[in-house]
A and B are shown apart, each in its own frame.
Chain A
Amino acid sequence: MTHPIISIRNLTKRFASVVAVDDVTFDIPPNEFFALLGPSGCGKTTLLRMLAGLERPSAGEIVIDGQDMAFTPPNQRPVNMVFQSYAVFPHMTVEQNVAYGLKVVGTPRAEIATRVTDALDMVQLSELAGRRPDQLSGGQRQRVALARALVKRPKVLLLDEPLSALDAKLRDQMRMELTRLQQSVGITFIIVTHDQDEALSMADRIAVMEKGRISQLASPSELYEQPVSRFVADFIGKVNLIDAEVVGTADGGLLCEAKGLGRVTLPHRGHAAGAVAIAIRPEKLTLSAEQPRDDKLVCIRGKVHDVAYFGDTSHVSLVTPSGLELLVNVQNRKAGATRGEELWVSWAPEATLVLTQ
């Protein structure tokens, strides 16, 4: 394994009585696209600001490229940040904004000129070099912020909610561009976001944060398929969570008494007892008019309560006679379900997860 570019050890940040970041430890290898994902107030931005040096940790270590930099001022760290508001200097032109970070450290004029030109080319802003920020669109201002950070050739680029202020179309475009940019410059990107789609589509690895702690750190597919807790399962994508009680074990699985489902045998490795949650993704459920023949499948009858139509798919919500509500995603290849219809919902037991936390 290569030497990690960033290594965080027992990092804690307290604000008066609130613990914003609570004893967090993890490593980020070089050239990774890393995402910090969580709801607002989970401490992800505070963590990012500590990496940039804009907040002083209460305890712990931040090792950047082999050096402990927990208390190094921001101007002496080999990291640069793209701020949520972009923070483009309003009294400078695009070119001056990009040159600023080189000018303040006394880079020779000729070098500044070439590096600024390259950086502006990279974000396709060469034509707008002489413009002032108030003559730019939001997307263009973000490119200025990106160029301004990348021109410093940081070892790590920090991005605080980079796409949140853009409209949907532009967001998709920028998402691809960020991925492309990360691959072409070959440095570590750390992005903070509350939007799971953003994190899933861009990042190599994602740390899901909740209340100052990391709930799970894994690749996008692992997070989606193997969430470790209710929180992660619920936060990443849509999920049906069914409360259940473990009543015993049965050949390589667990025998659970699920609310509204009765006894089901579910595959599970490791130990589990007491109250658990059964998690199943809506796209793994199948709807049918008749009861499926396959008796390996778990099936239950329900009444269609609501249908949300999304063109290619529909999200069907069913209520079983026992009051259990299930969300099913169906591909709209044939005519979809209609409200009030009685249908069978079925799924393979392997498609479910038993969550103990």
Chain B
Amino acid sequence: MTDVPLARTSPALPLRHRVPVLRWLSAPDQGPLEYGRRLWLKLVLAAIFITLYAPIAILVAFSFNDSRRNIVWQGFTTKYYGIAWRNDSLVEAFVNSLAIAVMCTLIATVIGAMTALLLWRFRFPGKAATEGFMALPIVIPEICMGVALLVFFSRMGRWMATFESGPIAWWNELFSVWPLTLSAITAGHVAFSFPFVAVVVRARMAGFNRELEEASRDLGASEWQTFWNVIFPFMKPGLIAGALLAFTLSLDDFVITFFTSGPDTVTFPVKVYSLVRRGVSPDVNAASTVLIVITLLATILAMRILRPDKGKAL
């Protein structure tokens, strides 16, 4: 008796309704825009995500692998985090990277914000050209910029060396003190990351109501007061997002850093590269995992700040 209703309904149902996995993969009665509900699109999407993230997942997983050679899974351990921590040159490179990232973020944010304000606020001859040149570091191949910076800094270094003894010798001395030894790399990082800040801040300022600025002036505020009391608070989400962008860009840059770093100024990505040439050991995995976590946190923070509803509330 109980078979009767089944017998009546089952043949009418297509296969994708009867098999749970297929049903999950392809809910058929969806609107044309719900791509995610179509089986083949889901498969493509899954393939893309696997290709993108499997290497990273494996890197993180193998940082816990209890094996010196790190090819076959041997068992869980966290000891390589300890080994990475005790590797002085690796830690030094890591600290260098963080120091560069912090300096670069501060400088790039200020320069980027000022550039954005200039392009947002003023009309001047050659504005379009300025805008184009400003975006150049975003599109220029990193290798070209790296080589250009290498040539520039080596010339600079040779020229500065001629002041070994003399009235401005203190200048050279100053730049042999950490973290100013990292100033060449920092300058390189600022050069390619400040346009990103400028683009983000400019996009934010496009939504600014100019009457707010005029109202502030009208109410008795000077231009300086108007900037800090009215324009800056509006700009802030853009500034924070741009700063985090600059931070992550600086932290994991390899190409430009490689050309501007010297034997005493090794950054984390450059150090990892040199270690990997001798075979990947789990301590490199461990240090990389730490870097991934830092970058990920910064990105999540940036995305939270850039959330559209957040921006409106401000």
A and B from one complex: yes
Residues in A lying within 8 Å of B, measured CB to CB = 52-54, 73-75, 79-81, 83-85, 87, 89-91, 100-101, 104-105, 134, 145, 148-149, 152
A100 — nearest CB in chain B belongs to which residue?
B219
- B220 to A101, Cβ gap below 8 A? yes
Can you offer 17 A-B residue contacts whose CB atoms are under 8 A?
A53-B217, A74-B217, A75-B218, A75-B222, A81-B214, A83-B214, A83-B215, A85-B211, A87-B211, A87-B212, A89-B216, A90-B234, A100-B221, A104-B216, A104-B222, A148-B219, A152-B220
Q: Which of A91, A134, A149 has the most CB of B within 10 A?
A: A91
Pair count A-B, CB < 8 A: 69
- A100 to B214, Cβ gap below 8 A? no
Say yes or no: is B10 at the interface (Cβ < 8 Å to chain A): no
A84 proximity list for chain B (CB < 8 A): 211
A104 proximity list for chain B (CB < 8 A): 216, 219-222, 225, 229
A89 proximity list for chain B (CB < 8 A): 212, 215-216, 229-230
B221 — nearest CB in chain A belongs to which residue?
A104
Q: Mark B222-237, 1 if CB is under 8 A from A, else 0.
A: 1001000110011000
- B229 to A81, Cβ gap below 8 A? no
Say yes or no: is B209 at the interface (Cβ < 8 Å to chain A): yes
Q: Using A75-B220, A79-B218, A104-B220 as known contacts, list a sample of 10 further A-B pairs with CB atoms less than 8 Å apart, ordered by residue number in A.
A: A75-B221, A81-B215, A87-B212, A90-B234, A100-B216, A100-B221, A104-B221, A104-B222, A134-B312, A149-B218
A90 — nearest CB in chain B belongs to which residue?
B314
Q: How far is the CB of A132 from chain B (nearest CB, A)?
A: 8
B211 — nearest CB in chain A belongs to which residue?
A87
Say yes or no: is B313 at the interface (Cβ < 8 Å to chain A): yes
A79 proximity list for chain B (CB < 8 A): 218
Which of chain B's residues 169-215 have a Cβ closer than 8 Å to chain A?
209, 211-212, 214-215
Q: How far is the CB of A127 from chain B (nearest CB, A)?
A: 22
- B218 to A74, Cβ gap below 8 A? yes
- B212 to A75, Cβ gap below 8 A? no
- A52 to B219, Cβ gap below 8 A? no
Q: Considering the chains assembled together, what is the distance between the CA atoms of A75 and B214 in angstroms?
A: 10
A148 proximity list for chain B (CB < 8 A): 215, 219
Q: Considering the chains assembled together, what is the distance between the CA atoms of A121 and B58 in angstroms?
A: 66
Q: How far is the CB of A35 from chain B (nearest CB, A)?
A: 20
Q: Which of B214, B215, B217, B234 has the most CB of A within 10 A?
A: B215
Q: How far is the CB of B6 from chain A (nearest CB, A)?
A: 57
- A80 to B214, Cβ gap below 8 A? no
- B313 to A54, Cβ gap below 8 A? no
| Residue of A73, A87, A152 touching B209 (CB-CB under 8 A) | A87
- The 6 residue pairs across chains A and B that have the minimum distance between CB atoms: A101-B219, A87-B215, A87-B211, A104-B221, A74-B217, A83-B211
| Residue of A80, A91, A100, A101 touching B234 (CB-CB under 8 A) | A91
Q: Considering the chains assembled together, what is the distance between the CA atoms of A352 and B111 in angstroms?
A: 69
Q: Considering the chains assembled together, what is the distance between the CA atoms of A31 and B202 in angstroms?
A: 44
Q: Which of A79, A87, A90, A105 has the most CB of B within 10 A?
A: A87
Q: Considering the chains assembled together, what is the distance between the CA atoms of A38 and B228 in angstroms?
A: 37
- A54 to B219, Cβ gap below 8 A? no
| Residue of B209, B220, B233, B314 touching A105 (CB-CB under 8 A) | B220
